[in-house]
Each structure stands twice: as structure tokens, then as C-alpha cells.
Structure 1
Amino acid sequence: MAEKEIELQETSSVPNILQEEIELAIKTQRDNKAPGPDGISNEVLKPAIQTITPILKEIFNDIINTEIIPQQWTKSNIILLYKKGDQYDIGNYRPISLMSNLYKIFAKVILKRIERKLDEQQPIEQAGFRRDYSVLDHIHAVRQIIEKYEEYQLVYYIAFVDYSKAFDSLVHTNIWEALKEQGIEQKYIRLIRNVYKTSSACIQLEKIGDSFEIQKGVRQGDPLSPKLFSAVLEMVFRRLEWENLGLNIDGSTLTHLRFADDIVLFAKTPEDLNIMLNDLASESAKVGLQLNPEKTKVMTNGNKSSINVGESQISYVEDYIYLGQLISPKDNINKEIERRIANSWKRY
């Protein structure tokens, strides 16, 4: 996919970074975390906070003014964390990306400055990576919709959308486009873009392997990544023309709910849901996100008419695990208790 160039003004400026901003960022760093390529741990930074923050203030402001990113900040070491099962099966390991702690402090300062503006651009339908929002909000909303539509004998079609490796797939230029569209100061966009321009990683096992370029996706472990992803997803949804679609909820129309990349679509008919799924798949593909038809599921109390995304047929289900909770039209509580008991036994 060819990347388009996003024009950014060179004249935009932002306030210098204050020592208090750096201190706050250091204090929020978690302990007992492996350091990145710079070898600097949080246990080293925190006791030296009064000594190091004036030095970091000078370094950070120089970076803000010149927009030159230290090369070490663009590098990540990827380690493999064992989960469970056969230790000789690579599928039983989770990759963890370790990056410079100094970069993460800088990124947290930038995040604090742009976070409010980005959150203001997010609709109430998006609850992921936001303060005062919870997975419970969306779980309760989905269950209430099903319960009320069943009670009043109204037909609903609900699609639980799955993306293939969503956070690893975004086209970088769409990140800058989304940030610009949502009013972020262009100097901040250029700084983030400069980090990504030369971003690379290497596998760290018994020794560190050769580095490779990161050409797409948001950086794992980067404090900015969740907000960058949400900004791009918001740009995708703004392109969708769904004014006459969705379900009626107390006089308002609800087309979808979002929790990060966990998306639920609501429709009155299978034809409407078919349109919505294909619209979403088409617009998502433009930013590098690929809808996964095999893992995308539909739940309904109506006729199970054929629903397709492209050439792939979407399966109907009687229940679905959404944000870690069982969603089912019938006997939610007992089914959820049974599921949790079964999962507990699997651990022994």
C-alpha cells in the first residue's frame, strides 16, 4: 500500500517542557520493568528524580525545538514471554517490546499535552483508553439492548467485529492524517512522525539479533500508541455514512460501540448489517486494518439470513465472549457462572 505524504506546517510552535511535567511522568513509571536499549531502569530514575529532571528538561526542550529524535529512542528490543503449554512451541510465547525509558518519559509528557484534545474528539461510543470509562459500561449496554429488544419482541442484529492484528497493521501516514484532522499541534505530529521514520526493532534472546525496520502499526509499549490507534479508528468511523442505520434506543439511534479495537455493530435487519460490515471493512482497509471474517460473529433473534463481507460469509452465534464477559440472549448470569467454573477447572 503506497503511503501518501501528509503536509505539516513548519511554523507551528509549542511551549517548552517544564520540570514539573517530567517529574510527573517519572513518578507514573512502573517499577520492576525490564529496561530498553538504553539500559536505564525506573528504579534508577526515581531516586534521582531531583537531580535528573533539570538535565532531562534541557534535553527534551532541545528535542522539541530541533525535532531531532535520538536514534536510541527509535529502537526496541523484543523479548519473548512464556505463557503456558509446550515451551518449544513459539505460539506459546508473547512478544514484549522494550524501549528506552527516557523516550517513554518524553512520550508521556507529550501524551499529557495532547490527551484532552484527542479525548474531546472521541464519541461516547468509544470507551477504550479513556478516563472515567470502563468495559462494564459497554458490557451493560449490550446486555440491556438485547434484554429490552427481547422483552418488546423487537428484532436486532448485532455484529461483534474482529480485526486481524489491529495494532500491528496501521499505515503510518494515516496516523498523522488523523492527528491533524483532530486538531493536534503540528509540531507534536512531526515529533511523533520523526520517531516512526527510523523506528526499528531486534529480537533479544540469549543475544540481540539484527535490527529490522518497523514499517506499519503503532509501537508496542509506547505510551502514545493507544491514543494514536483510537484517533485513526475515529477517522475511519467519521467516513461512514450510517445516518439511517442502527437501532433505536430511547429515541436515539445507536449504530455501534467501541472499546479500543473491540467493535460492536447494531442493525434492524440483516441487509442493514451487511451494508455496515462492508462499509466498515472498506474504510478500515484504507488505513491498513483488515476485518477478520472468520472471527467476526453475528447474534440475532430474527431470521439468520446470509451476511457476507466480500466473498466471506459471517457466522451466527448463540453467545459470544465480549470484553471478557459472556453475552447471550438467554440466562446470561447462569451461563457466565458455568463458563467461569469451567475455566477455573482448566487451570488444574
Structure 2
Amino acid sequence: MEVYGEDGTILTDDETILNKWKTEFQNIYNTDNAASNFDDEFYRQVSTHKSSLEDKMLDPLYNANQDRNTTITIENIRRLVYKTKNGKSCGIDSIPYEVLRYECLVIHSLFQLIFETGIIPSVWRQAILCPILKDKSSDPRVPLNYRGISLLSCISKLYSAFKNSRLSSYLESNDILADEQNGFRSDRSFSTSACVRVNNRLSQWFVCSSGVKQGDNLSPTLFSIFINDLVEEVNSLGLGVNIGDSTLSLLLYADDIVLLASSETDMQCMLDKVHEWCKRWRVLINTEKSKVMHFRPSRSKRSNFQFKIGDNLLQITDTYKYLGVTFHDLKDFKDNANRLSEAG
């Protein structure tokens, strides 16, 4: 495998290539920097509150949500293990699911110990990133043209699946997640380290200080909790489109967000609100993939309003694909109908 150097030359030395891959992916997973114009004062407030909550959790008398802290049973373990599939890639410990099916009693003892102490094996914090080219037409010598697929310890994913089951049940039974969130529906935080695997060789390890762990069962649920108050903030504007007796402001599928507005100024107001939220919570928006679509009758002119996220101008497009459906600004769904009929 080859990559470009900083001066545009093609690098072929294995060690140099691994270091290049490590640097590129390390930058992706550590975007928390001053150049991003984040709200540092809000960050300090959240950090102080987080420390306060952690101190409370260390108190022996702390007993919040005791119904979620019941003992793990051997049946819990068996259900988790028998749901796994054969032939799945394993993480740095090289232990596949096929082996774990014969060790339910050992897993039960391990999980109960972890659940009681809050201490996990350090290897569970490590991930191997396997690069997969996003687009076959893109240059294979550019690391950022690849998507890093994370390989985690199989047994760590079992434990996360157990924790996620209890957490998701609590969120759903208490109606905590916003109705607008349609993705991923049915502890303490720690940093994760990762390395890149190229040609069966591993790069040096690097720390991932932002985001949730890719490929972990808990990550989708944790992200849904994280983004939940964005829905409340956008809805607080009282803007959106009327559908029957309801007003719909936005749609969420995981981190894919659709804003709905009845006027140009309303849309810009909603974009400003999203931008403010992202600055506070240190989230970067991919403005290149963010588009505006003006739905209108065929005789009406398309808007020439300059929509912005922060200082970034957004492109107005006539087509956009969302969750597999192609939308047209003139509300023409013939392409989708033809595609579905051909598939049928």
C-alpha cells in the first residue's frame, strides 16, 4: 500500500506508511482544539458538574436507579452469547465469539466482578482500525478516503450489550429520548486507544479523546442521550412545518439531522440554534455534506437566500438522498417509485 507524503511524494516504506495512517486517524478522533471555536466556558462548567456527579457516585450511600443494578444472572449471559454470530472479526485479544459460547460460567463471574467494581480490563479500551475505501473512484493513496472500521474485543462487546439492554430499557420506560430520534431505538466514561492495521501490520497506539467508541453496543444509546437536548432546543423556537395538528421542527436518525421550516428566516434561525448547540457541546458539523432544499411548486423560483452554519455557506440543492430515499425540490418521487418497482 502507498500513501502521499506531506510534499506530495509517494511513500512506500512500511513504517512510514503506518505512521502516516496513524497521524491521519489520530487527527480525526482528536478534534477538540481551540481552532474549532468551541465554547470553553461551557466546557469548564460541564467538567465541574461531571466531577461532582462522579464524587457522588463514589459515596457508599449513593443508590440511584437501584432497579438497574440487580445481579447479573447466568441466563442473562447465555441469552447474550447465543445471540452472537459465527465468523465475526475479533479485537486485539483474538478471542472470537465461537470460543465464548463454551465459557458462560467464566463470563458470568467476570461480568459480575466488573459490574460490582466498575473496573474493566485495559484491553477492552483498545480498538484496531481497519481502513475500507469509501469510494472506489477515490485516490487509494489518501488515508482520509478510507473509513476506519473498528475491531473490538468480542467479550467487551458482550458486556456492552448487557449494559446497553438495561440502559435502553430505562430510557424507553421513562420516555427520556425525544420522539424525533428514530435511530438506535427498539459507568463511567473512559478514553479509548486505537491503532491502524495496514497489510496485517499495526501502527503505534494513539488516544481517541472525542466521540463514542465505534462498534460498541453502548455507543448508539450514549450518543442518543448526548444529542437529546438538541431536539428540545430546536423545538423551543416554536418553528417548523404544520402536519395536521402538530408542528414538526426536525427529524433525527442517529446523527443525521433534518430541519424543517416554513420560511427562509425560520430555517436560518434553526441553523443558528444548531450551531450554538454544537459550539457548546464541541461538535463539528460537516458543512460539505449539509445541504438546503427548497420544496416548491414547479412554477415557483428556487430560493436564493444565503443559508449559513456559522461562517460557512450552505449549498442549495435540487436533489438529496436521505436514508435511501431521493428527494426532489419539486416533490417528484418518480425516481424512487421506479427504483422500488425494479427492486420488487
Q: Which TM-score band applies after superposition, normalised by the shorter structure?
A: 0.7 to 0.9
Query: Which residues in structure 2 correspond to 1:167-316 (within 5 Å)?
Result: 189-190=187-188, 193=189, 196-197=190-191, 199-205=192-198, 206-240=200-234, 242-300=236-294, 301=296, 303-316=303-316
Flag the 1:81–1:31 CA change in 2: closer, same or farther, 3 A: farther
Q: Is 1:24 matched up with 2:17?
A: no
1:326 & 1:233 partners in 2: Cα distance? Answer: 25
How many Å apart are 1:88 and its aligned residue? 4.4
- Where does residue 162 of structure 1 map in the other structure? none
Q: Is 1:67 matched up with 2:118?
A: yes
Flag the 1:216–1:40 CA change in 2: closer, same or farther, 3 A: same
Q: Which has the higher contact order (CA 8 A, sep 6+)?
A: 1
2:132 & 2:286 partners in 1: Cα distance? Answer: 26
Give the aligned residue type for 2:201: K
Q: Is 1:116 matched up with 2:131?
A: no
1:271 & 1:331 partners in 2: Cα distance? Answer: 22
1:122 & 1:242 partners in 2: Cα distance? Answer: 16
Flag the 1:91–1:212 CA change in 2: closer, same or farther, 3 A: closer
Query: Which residues in structure 2 correspond to 1:40-55 (within 5 Å)?
Result: 40-46=95-101, 48=102, 52-55=103-106
Partner of 2:130, secondary structure, is strand
How many Å apart are 1:53 and its aligned residue? 1.4
How many Å apart are 1:89 and its aligned residue? 4.7
Q: Is the 8 A contact 1:242 1:255 kept in 2?
A: no
2:336 & 2:209 partners in 1: Cα distance? Answer: 41
Give the aligned residue type for 2:131: L
How many Å apart are 1:308 and its aligned residue? 2.1
1:303 & 1:98 partners in 2: Cα distance? Answer: 45
Give the aligned residue type for 1:314: L
How many Å apart are 1:30 and its aligned residue? 2.6
1:72 & 1:262 partners in 2: Cα distance? Answer: 31
| 233-242 vs 217-226, which moves further | 233-242
Q: Is the 8 A contact 1:81 1:94 kept in 2?
A: yes
Give the aligned residue type for 1:75: Q
- For normalisation by structure 1, the TM-score amounts to 0.72
Partner of 2:229, secondary structure, is helix
Q: Is the 8 A contact 2:160 2:217 kept in 1?
A: yes
- Where does residue 22 of structure 2 map in the other structure? none
Flag the 1:80–1:313 CA change in 2: closer, same or farther, 3 A: closer
Flag the 1:241–1:82 CA change in 2: closer, same or farther, 3 A: closer
What stretches of structure 2 of length at least 5 have no aligned partner?
1-39, 297-301
Flag the 1:331–1:253 CA change in 2: closer, same or farther, 3 A: closer
How many Å apart are 1:333 and its aligned residue? 3.3
Q: Is 1:15 matched up with 2:70?
A: yes
Q: Is 1:323 matched up with 2:317?
A: no
Q: Is the 8 A contact 1:76 1:98 kept in 2?
A: yes
How many Å apart are 1:87 and its aligned residue? 4.8
1:70 & 1:230 partners in 2: Cα distance? Answer: 26
Q: Is the 8 A contact 1:118 1:227 kept in 2?
A: no
How many Å apart are 1:208 and its aligned residue? 2.2
Q: Is the 8 A contact 2:178 2:231 kept in 1?
A: no
| 7-16 vs 85-94, which moves further | 85-94
Flag the 1:294–1:37 CA change in 2: closer, same or farther, 3 A: closer
How many Å apart are 1:339 and its aligned residue? 7.7
1:82 & 1:219 partners in 2: Cα distance? Answer: 20
Q: Is the 8 A contact 2:97 2:155 kept in 1?
A: no
Q: Is the 8 A contact 2:235 2:249 kept in 1?
A: no
| 117-126 vs 249-258, which moves further | 117-126
2:185 & 2:263 partners in 1: Cα distance? Answer: 32
How many Å apart are 1:117 and its aligned residue? 2.2
Flag the 1:274–1:330 CA change in 2: closer, same or farther, 3 A: closer
1:57 & 1:260 partners in 2: Cα distance? Answer: 32
Among 36, 39, 49, which residue is 2:94 paired with? Answer: 39
How many Å apart are 1:17 and its aligned residue? 0.9
2:225 & 2:258 partners in 1: Cα distance? Answer: 18
Q: Is the 8 A contact 1:281 1:290 kept in 2?
A: no
Q: What is the aligned residue count? A: 276
How many Å apart are 1:251 and its aligned residue? 1.8
How many Å apart are 1:20 and its aligned residue? 1.1
Flag the 1:87–1:273 CA change in 2: closer, same or farther, 3 A: closer
Partner of 2:151, secondary structure, is strand
Partner of 1:267, secondary structure, is coil
Measured against aligned partners, the alpha-carbon deviations of 1:186-205 in whole angstroms (never above 9, x if no partner) come to xxx32xx1xx24x2111223
Q: Is the 8 A contact 1:242 1:276 kept in 2?
A: no
